[in-house]
């Protein structure tokens, strides 16, 4: 059962063009602005082993910042996303960067087999109906020996602070269940293996938020607590205390990568 507040971020990311994009864009920009967000992305970028002249694909690229980072390594850098709104924003924000942005569904990538030297996806398999199909499609467009990399949270590790643990636990529980694939982080190595990726390795980075604004932008704490207060009135006092200084939340990001056989 989905007990979370309606129009939650996790639902919006499944089909950005069917929702009001402002909240989605603020959430994406918030993570890019956080030092810990940039740190795990830098680690994931290094693992692609990009050499000048190579080609790299970012699947479900959102606003395209990771495509620009790949481009800065001297490669042909392509980003695809199913959202026309986000691809238009990426094209406008990164005009003149030399990056290519394409509207496409991750389940049906418009590229020939073996087109890229590196293929990545970041925080998107958590939202997509058949993640196994997406990872197989990523492996299909990767050349033999190319790196295929996935970076996803595992919402089973989500930690929401606050003094009244029963309320924190209930908000956590409801939030986790808004995701299509909440346990995707721990599933990545199996999905890569099923897609014919070998030499699979895994790393994890803790992604903490600090202060109410960050927590709320990434985890919608205010809306979730208010929604819960219809059933548990103490959720409102929990929210007040959380706002006043107990705001702490975090989730583990799993980075999993290997080479196309």
Ligand X SMILES: C[S@@+](CC[C@H](N)C(=O)[O-])C[C@H]1O[C@@H](n2cnc3c(N)ncnc32)[C@H](O)[C@@H]1O
Residues that bind ligand X (CB under 6 A): 13-14, 16, 28, 60-62, 81-83, 86, 105-107, 122-124, 127-128
- 83 vs 157, beta carbon nearer ligand X: 83
CB of residue 16 vs ligand X: minimum separation in angstroms? 4
Q: Within 10 Å of residue 81's Cβ, how many Cβ atoms?
A: 26
**Distance in angstroms between the alpha carbons of the first and the last residue of the chain:** 40
Nearest-CB residue for ligand X: 62
CB of residue 245 vs ligand X: minimum separation in angstroms? 28
Residue 70 φ then ψ, to 5°: -65, -45
Going from the C-alpha of 164 to that of each of 12, 170, 178, 214, 221, the distances in angstroms are 29, 10, 22, 20, 14
- 206 vs 240, beta carbon nearer ligand X: 206
How would you classify residue 159: left for phi > 0, otherwise alpha for psi between -120 and 50, otherwise beta? Answer: beta
CB of residue 196 vs ligand X: minimum separation in angstroms? 21
Q: In the block, which residue shows the tokens 């208010």?
A: 226
CA angle 83, 144, 103 (to 5 degrees): 10
- 152 vs 242, beta carbon nearer ligand X: 152
- 92 vs 163, beta carbon nearer ligand X: 92
CB of residue 189 vs ligand X: minimum separation in angstroms? 20
Q: How far is CA 99 from the centre of its chain?
A: 20
- 175 vs 238, beta carbon nearer ligand X: 175
Residue 74 φ then ψ, to 5°: 85, 25
- 228 vs 253, beta carbon nearer ligand X: 253
Measured CA to CA, the distance from residue 196 to residue 76 in angstroms comes to 24
Residue 222 burial (10 A CB sphere; 0-12, 13-18, 19+) = middle
CB of residue 164 vs ligand X: minimum separation in angstroms? 29
CB of residue 130 vs ligand X: minimum separation in angstroms? 9
């Amino acid at each position: 059962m989905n007990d979370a507040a309606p129009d939650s971020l996790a639902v919006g990311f499944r089909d950005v063009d069917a929702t009001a994009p402002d909240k989605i864009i603020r959430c994406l920009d918030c993570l890019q602005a956080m030092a810990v967000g940039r740190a795990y992305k830098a680690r994931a970028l290094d693992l692609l082993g990009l050499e000048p002249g190579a080609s790299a694909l970012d699947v479900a690229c959102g606003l395209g910042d990771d495509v620009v980072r790949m481009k800065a390594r001297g490669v042909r850098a392509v980003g695809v996303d199913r959202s026309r709104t986000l691809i238009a924003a990426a094209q406008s924000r990164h005009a003149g960067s030399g990056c290519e942005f394409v509207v496409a569904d991750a389940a049906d990538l418009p590229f020939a087999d073996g087109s890229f030297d590196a293929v990545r996806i970041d925080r998107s398999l958590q939202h997509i109906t058949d993640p196994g199909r997406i990872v197989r499609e990523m492996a299909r467009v990767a050349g033999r020996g190319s790196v295929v990399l996935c970076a996803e949270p595992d919402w089973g590790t989500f930690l929401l602070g606050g003094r009244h643990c029963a309320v924190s636990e209930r908000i956590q529980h409801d939030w986790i269940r808004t995701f299509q694939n909440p346990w995707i982080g721990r599933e990545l190595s199996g999905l890569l293996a099923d897609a014919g990726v070998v030499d699979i390795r895994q790393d994890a980075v803790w992604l903490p938020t600090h202060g109410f604004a960050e927590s709320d932008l990434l985890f919608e704490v205010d809306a979730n607590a208010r929604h819960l207060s219809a059933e548990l009135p103490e959720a409102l006092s929990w929210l007040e205390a959380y706002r006043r200084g107990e705001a702490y939340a975090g989730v583990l990001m799993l980075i999993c990568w290997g080479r196309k056989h």
